[in-house]
Structure 1
């Protein structure tokens, strides 16, 4: 029996819902960050800023990219390290002994992506395109975090009637590095959690879990 066609929302619901959650959360972050920043300005006897002005402030940019860079770094490491490293029994690991489908060389077919059909340098890039894009997203968001944190640092200096400092001097300060490692450690912990917990725990219906009746020593999904 032919299954009924699903609508576009059903077929793309996972990405749609997460993008909506991201936009709502980001909007809330900007709004409450603006209120916090305005409150701090008022306490110092300074003039408040508009929401649009706050959006481009160092405080806002730093807070946004501080989270972006740690998430993209997490995903980059997750994609790359799971190529080589193993965890027996984890749903997130390749089998430590058996060959995996993802390790075979690509074979072009009528339904293959265009770079696979083209071969050559296009295929060589495409074979690593996921890690390349995550690396670029991490590099860009790390730079955005650095820029925002640097601007916020100097904005704080100006509010205190102190002179701004050059970037080289700012990099010697602990502020940016504290923000960076504060986020990285939480990302490493979350990856370790899903790798280890999927050895013993299950969630029926989730592709991130092994089947409920799978033995603990089964590696992969």
Structure 2
């Protein structure tokens, strides 16, 4: 096995979904450009080039409103599953392990191994920061993308107002509009439904070979067991 083949095999999950992301983002840009120009032509305005469209607030808000909902899901799921449990689900920890668990179970401080991350063995702020780094980064990306959505959404909203010969509104006022909360909540509800569905359906249904599923023959009551 060559070094390249081994790299692709060992990173195939990230590479496959990363490639899928780029392909679908390109498809969104192409279709969004066509739809945007159709609206401009219908209003008697000149269409934009593809590259001009990529710099518009309309394209930016469509992208960021989906990103913020996805990272909200990850952030809530990572932190929520520390304490919240679901009997029989592989998405849940075992029922007796709710909470942050002991240093021995988490292999930190004196219990860190020779191959543990260096900050895991630290007894100060580095360990505390590193032990919450995944959820913290997910939360930071969510906040950033939500802020980006609000700024770009405000710009797109005001552009439409100007086309309709209406006065634009400031960003702070846009945060209280139905447009902003409709964009936000329609994504949040779908992400929360998806997580809840995965948690309960994985109690009774199986997918052979997937770490997101229990082994096919595992009992429905088996909790925190992966295939």
TM-score, shorter chain, exceeding 0.5:
yes
The answer to whether 1:167 aligns with 2:171 is yes
CA contact (8 A) 2:203 2:220 kept: yes
The answer to whether 1:103 aligns with 2:101 is yes
Q: 1: CA distance between counterparts of 2:129 and 2:77?
A: 19
Q: Identify the match of residue 214 of structure 1 among 196, 201, 218.
A: 218
Query: What SS does the aligned partner of 1:7 have?
Result: helix
Q: Which residue of 1 aligns with 2:54?
A: 55
Deviation at 1:171, TM superposition (A): 2.2
Q: Which residue of 2 aligns with 1:90?
A: 89
Q: 1: CA distance between counterparts of 2:94 and 2:120?
A: 26
The answer to whether 1:40 aligns with 2:44 is no
CA contact (8 A) 2:151 2:171 kept: no
* More moved, 32-41 vs 116-125: 116-125
Q: Which runs of 5+ in 1 are unaligned?
A: none
Instruction: Report how many aligned residue pairs link the two structures.
Output: 217
Coordinate RMSD, CA, aligned: 1.8
Q: Which residue of 2 aligns with 1:199?
A: 203
Deviation at 1:4, TM superposition (A): 10
1:18-73 CA deviation, whole Å, 9 max, x = no partner?
00001111111111111100000000000111211211211101100000000000
The answer to whether 1:121 aligns with 2:125 is yes
Query: What SS does the aligned partner of 2:89 have?
Result: coil
Q: After TM superposition, what 4+ stretches of structure 1 lie above 6 angstroms from structure 2?
A: 3-6
Q: Which gives a bigger RCO, structure 1 or 2 (Cα 8 Å, sep 6+)?
A: 1
Q: Which runs of 5+ in 2 are unaligned?
A: none
* More moved, 45-54 vs 187-196: 45-54
Q: 2: CA distance between counterparts of 1:74 and 1:44?
A: 38
1:86-128 CA deviation, whole Å, 9 max, x = no partner?
111111111113x48x833112222111212344211110000
Q: 2: CA distance between counterparts of 1:180 and 1:35?
A: 24
